[in-house]
Structure formats: structure tokens, C-alpha cells
Homo-oligomer: A and B are copies of this chain.
């Protein structure tokens, strides 16, 4: 496909996602949006562009899933109703320890299929088998910030020492090699699972290559209490004390934080990766996102892995996020509609390390298109409200990433869906059988 001319009934334009263009068009050349406006105006610039007529559709900046563990697609639905210990010990870890790098590759491919169908142009990952994930994402043609997990006892490298050696080599070899769509960060699992000396070496690596540190923080109450006992401080105070916050921190969850921790977050280069559905389902709590936003702390939204959510779509995640914050703040004025969309798009891109001005001239051409066919889109008193509160992931018809259509008219352009699904079904079946399920 060459350069594109896209015609839509509505376009949510601008870096603040608050300009709605009715009967609009977009011109994409290479990976950039070069024109956006009323169709009659933009049409004057039409030359040899391929046309996408989407006249009963809405175009929005593409979603970014800011925290996940992509190959966990394979674990979808294996355990929904158990306490954390049972969930981990009897289901998640036994499954993961049986996973090969090839299994992870196929799981990641399925994750890419699901992200693409939900209009998600990229994701931030923390998992082992990062090279398998990279291979899958490269084939899919979407964006990723891959942060290989540093964790004790992984199926890829065994104990923490070996894992850290492997991750250090991998990240060192990848990080100097900046790619348009796929970049590397580093993923120490959490302050309670990675010892201090290792965290300090991770900090040096992050500093050397100017890459972010993606780490789970303050997810559950017990973790915060144990940190106080064992590390002498709450998790975010602890990582601040040892100097980790001198680097860019992508802090997943941040459900339970103190005023002092929020002050640290505010003063450092810190982005909260918020996972509202996983936090409910795992009984972790509700992160005070409205407070973070008030303080000017960056926030992006993710789904967490399929083992805990159980899907990768961002539309429902953002609806949940908006409703929960209104409830938590006891104030319906928080989470205004355009801001909700920004959390899932522009701020996600920023967390990923890529500047986006949404659907604006000279912005990067990541565009998601949804059909307005379903009755839940009518009447269109406010299409942005309909997007946030009434639409569903399955309304997505097209996804353009970096100027390329990876999903057109609900057809995958980059991946062989049938083969991936078949392969993943048989992998999941094989592992579950081995586990005796």
C-alpha cells in the first residue's frame, strides 16, 4: 500500500483529542500525517494516494496498551477466581515454567492479533523470552517497548543471576540499536523480588543507554507492608533512596501510595502504568489516578497480562478507568472525556518513548478506525462520549501503524490468523494437559 487518503464521518483530532472534525479526511505520506481537516479541503491535496472510504466511521489516535505480558494470551481463562497465592503457585507459574521460547513467540503473535483487532498500535511489555516477542511484533508491524524481566526462576534463564546476565547482554546489544517501532527497556520485576545490588546494576545499565526501567510498584497492601519491614521503606521510597528514580521509571500499578511517595513520583521522571481491571479482579484495589493527574504525574493505561484481565482491548479498560476514578474521587468531574482518550493514546505513546500529537499535521500516522454501524453509536449527540462510554473493541475496523495499514476492513494485513490460532490452541492444550488440568 502506498500513501493514504482516509475519509471518515468523524475524526477526533488534535494533541488534546478535543477537536471533532465532521466529514473529515486525513492524508498520510510515509509514516506522517501530512493533512487533516474537512474532506472538501483535504481533497484538494489528493494525488496518487490510496483511498480508504470510511464514511460511516470515526478515526481516532491509536490506543497504546501501556502494561502487559504478551505471551500470557496462552494462559487466558485458566484461573479467574482464586487468591493470589493459589493463582500464582498452582496455575500461572506451573504454566509459564513449561513455556518454550517458541511457545512464547506464538503467544506473542496471538497477542498481536488481539491488539490489532482492538485498534491498539503498540504496547509496553515485561516478560521473559523478549527476543521471541520481538520476532512476533516485527512480523505484526506494530510498536513495542520490550522490557525483559529480571526475576528469579524464569523458564528462559533459570535463577536471578543467570537471568540478569542474559538480560544485560540482550539489552546491551539491542539498546544501542534504536528502531522505529520496537525499542528495549529493562524490567526488574519488583523491589521485593530483585535484590538491591542487582537493582543498582540495572540502574547503571538504564543510565548508560538512556532506557526506561519498567517495574511493578505498590500493587497490593501486603507488598507495601512487607517492603516497610524488609526494605525499611515503602516501595517507591525505597527505589528513590537507592537512586533508581534518577532514571526514567515506568511504574506498573501504583495502587497504594503515600503522600511522600507521590511527591517522589512528581519530582522524578515517573510514569504510572495503570491497570484498573486487573487491579479489581486480583483484588489489589483502585489506584488514585485522579490524584496523580492533579499532581502532574504522567499516567498511561494498560490491561496487564491475559492471565489476569483477560483481554488486551483498551476501550473497555478506559471506560472502567474513567468510571472508577469518578467513584473513587466521589466527583464526576474527574476524567473528562478527551482526557480519558489521551490516557489511552497520546500518553501511552509518550510512555512508549514516541512523541505523538494525535491526529494532527506532522504527527506520526498511528490511526484507529471504528465503525459507527452498531446502534450503541446513536444518536451521535457527542461522538467522543459514545467512544468512551458506549463503543466496544469489536467495533474497530482498521488500524494504521506508522503509516501502514496492518488491519483493513477487519482483515489482517500482516499476520496469518488461522495458523497462529491453531498453533496457540495446541500449545495451551499441551501445557494444560501436562499440568494435569
Contact = CB atoms under 8 A, between A and B. Distances in A.
Nearest to A281: B323
A319 interface: yes
Interface stretch (A47-55, A73-81, A156-164, A246-254): A73-81
Interface in A105-126: 110, 113-114, 117-118
Given A80-B388, A110-B378, A283-B329, 17 more contacts: A76-B379, A76-B381, A76-B386, A76-B390, A80-B332, A80-B337, A81-B333, A83-B332, A110-B379, A114-B376, A280-B327, A281-B322, A281-B326, A313-B376, A316-B316, A381-B432, A393-B394
Nearest to A415: B375
A374 interface: yes
Task: Give the residue among A114, A277, A327, A421 with the most B Cβ atoms within 10 A.
Answer: A327
A103 to B, nearest CB: 11
Contact of A386 (B77, B81, B286): B77
Contacts of A390: 76-77, 306, 310-311
A75 to B, nearest CB: 8
A292 interface: no
Interface string A314-342: 00100110111011011111111100000
A389 B117 contact: no
A77 B385 contact: yes
A263 B77 CA distance: 36
Interface stretch (A57-65, A196-204, A423-431): A423-431
B332 A87 contact: yes
Contacts of A374: 114, 117, 394
A192 to B, nearest CB: 20
Interface of A: 73-78, 80-84, 87, 110, 113-114, 117-118, 277, 279-283, 285-286, 306, 309-313, 316, 319-320, 322-324, 326-327, 329-337, 374-376, 378-382, 385-386, 388-390, 392-395, 417, 421, 424-425, 427-429, 432
B376 A117 contact: yes
Contacts of A113: 375
Nearest to A87: B332
A424 B379 CA distance: 6
B77 A282 contact: no
Interface of A is mostly: helix
Nearest to A327: B280
Given A77-B390, A309-B389, A375-B417, A332 B428 contact: no
Nearest to A83: B332
A393 B319 CA distance: 14
A320 B316 CA distance: 10
B392 A316 contact: yes
Contacts of A376: 114, 117-118, 311-313, 393
A279 B322 CA distance: 13
A281 B332 contact: yes
Task: Give the residue among A78, A80, A279 with the most B Cβ atoms within 10 A.
Answer: A80
A323 B381 contact: no
20 contacts: A73-B378, A76-B379, A77-B389, A80-B385, A81-B326, A81-B334, A82-B332, A114-B376, A117-B374, A281-B322, A281-B326, A281-B389, A282-B326, A283-B326, A285-B327, A309-B389, A311-B376, A312-B376, A375-B417, A376-B393
Closest 6 CB pairs of A and B: A77-B385, A394-B394, A280-B323, A77-B382, A379-B428, A113-B375
A390 to B, nearest CB: 4
Nearest to A382: B77
A313 B392 CA distance: 10
Nearest to A432: B381
Contacts of A310: 385-386, 389-390
Contacts of A110: 375, 378-379
